[in-house]
């Protein structure tokens, strides 16, 4: 499990010592480090690569083994097999071994692809992840997965591998658009709803401030979210997903499908927000989740400027998401819902008529909000 999770404001500036310390090495030989950066992040901060190189070159005990290299972000980095070949060839060229380090700086897709290469080289080079999206800082950065797309299928190739360290740096988020920035917080709402009423109330009180990137609210939301995700992975008893229940996939059966139906016009975080809204409504109608919790969840999402509705919910195709979700892990369908704040419950079937009603309920909230907004 992730033993080293650090929070910094500017890890290539004032907080460099915090970053430096994660690179353990014997007294007589420096930590050998290769660095891969998301080209979008490098564009948004055009001195970043130079600062990284200078910092590593000047630090005692650290050795940057070759030039900082750029990679595309988003699904492109996971779709292009030549990128994986290039990563592996670079690892071989620089003679990295299992005590060397690969530092990956980027969004979830880049962390996935670089992490995959790091995991299969010599059964695992040490991977230091610096997530540059709120989504990856709040959730996936501490995950124990990596993946690339193969046979035209998302995440077909991949392994379970624990990163050596995860450094959540506030400064690396500056380049994000407001839309992308807000996308990270749907996973925070999800994990708060399932696991931590105090955090849920914090989000209810501060959703607008978070959406407007106000500190310390936004960073605190990321910190609480990632700690709850990490605790689930560490203490949940199923880090490698051997069991059928996937509690952290609350809201995800429809989210995955909505992304596909909209041809990825919806970002993952937006689709998850919609998925949460729908499953909260269903939990209210079918499992007796108190209506004030359902209402409150909806308003948190809305105050975060996240969508709760998409027209794709009116079609039938979204329900195919249930079967696809089942197939993903095989075996019986298992969907995590919520009975009350902090009380998740697994169910093995979804009543379609009740789900239709839930979708209508969400549509009503959405319309009300749209009307208010006018």
Q: What are phi and psi of 131, to 5 degrees?
A: -70, 140
Q: Which of residues 62, 114, 119, 277 is near its own copies by CB under 8 A?
A: 119
Indicate whether 98 belongs to the interface with its own copies (CB under 8 A): yes
Q: Which two tokens stand for residue 159?
A: 């392994």
Scan residues 11-70 and list those touching its own copies (CB under 8 A): 26, 28-29
Sign of the torsion angle spanned by Cα atoms 293, 298, 303, 304:
positive
Indicate whether 153 belongs to the interface with its own copies (CB under 8 A): yes
Distance separating alpha carbons of residues 350 and 280, to the nearest angstrom: 13
Sign of the torsion angle spanned by Cα atoms 346, 136, 181, 167:
positive
Which span sits near its own copies by CB under 8 A: 8-16, 54-62, 87-95, 303-311? 87-95
Indicate whether 82 belongs to the interface with its own copies (CB under 8 A): no
Q: Which residues contact 42 (CB under 8 A, 6 or more apart)?
A: 48, 49, 70
Q: Which of residues 177, 311, 316, 330 is near its own copies by CB under 8 A?
A: 330
Distance separating alpha carbons of residues 319 and 235, to the nearest angstrom: 32
Indicate whether 157 belongs to the interface with its own copies (CB under 8 A): yes
CB of 355 to its own copies, least distance (A): 23
For its own copies, the closer CB: 156 or 264: 156
Indicate whether 86 belongs to the interface with its own copies (CB under 8 A): no
Distance separating alpha carbons of residues 138 and 16, to the nearest angstrom: 21
- Exposed, middle or buried, 187 (CB in 10 Å: 0-12/13-18/19+)? buried
For its own copies, the closer CB: 244 or 299: 244
Which span sits near its own copies by CB under 8 A: 107-115, 117-125, 167-175, 297-305? 117-125
For its own copies, the closer CB: 14 or 156: 156
- What's the farthest any 2 CA atoms get from each other in the chain? 67
Q: Which residues bind its own copies (CB under 8 A)?
A: 26, 28-29, 88-89, 92, 97-100, 119-124, 145, 147, 150-151, 153, 155-161, 240-241, 327-332
């Amino acid at each position: 499990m992730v033993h080293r999770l650090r929070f910094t404001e500017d890890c290539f500036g004032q907080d460099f010592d915090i970053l430096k310390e994660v690179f353990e090495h014997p007294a007589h030989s420096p930590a050998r480090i290769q660095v891969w950066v998301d080209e979008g992040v490098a564009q948004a901060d055009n001195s970043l690569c130079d600062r990284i190189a200078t910092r590593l070159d000047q630090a005692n005990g650290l050795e940057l083994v070759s030039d900082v290299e750029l990679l595309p972000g988003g699904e492109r980095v996971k779709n292009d097999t030549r990128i994986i070949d290039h990563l592996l060839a670079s690892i071989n060229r620089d003679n990295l071994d299992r005590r060397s380090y690969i530092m990956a700086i980027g969004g979830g897709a880049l962390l996935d692809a670089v992490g995959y290469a790091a995991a299969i080289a010599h059964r695992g080079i040490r991977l230091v992840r610096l997530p540059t999206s709120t989504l990856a800082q709040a959730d996936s950065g501490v995950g124990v997965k990596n993946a690339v797309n193969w046979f035209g299928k998302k995440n077909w190739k991949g392994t379970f591998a624990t990163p050596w360290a995860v450094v959540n740096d506030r400064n690396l988020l500056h380049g994000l658009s407001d839309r992308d920035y807000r996308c990270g917080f749907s996973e925070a709402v999800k994990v708060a709803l399932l696991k931590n009423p105090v955090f849920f109330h914090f989000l209810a009180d501060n959703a607008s401030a978070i959406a407007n990137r106000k500190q310390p609210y936004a960073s605190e939301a990321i910190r609480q979210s990632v700690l709850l995700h990490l605790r689930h992975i560490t203490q949940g008893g199923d880090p490698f997903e051997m069991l059928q229940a996937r509690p952290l996939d609350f809201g995800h059966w429809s989210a995955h499908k909505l992304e596909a139906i909209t041809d990825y016009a919806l970002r993952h975080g937006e689709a998850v927000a919609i998925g949460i809204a729908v499953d909260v409504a269903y939990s209210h109608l079918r499992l007796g989740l108190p209506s004030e919790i359902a209402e409150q969840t909806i308003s948190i999402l809305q105050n975060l400027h996240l969508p709760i509705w998409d027209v794709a919910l009116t079609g039938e195709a979204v329900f195919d998401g249930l079967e696809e979700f089942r197939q993903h892990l095989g075996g019986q369908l298992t969907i995590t819902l919520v009975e009350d704040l902090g009380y998740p419950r697994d169910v093995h079937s979804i009543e379609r008529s009740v789900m239709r009603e839930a979708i209508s309920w969400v549509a009503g909230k959405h319309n009300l909000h749209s009307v208010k907004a006018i």
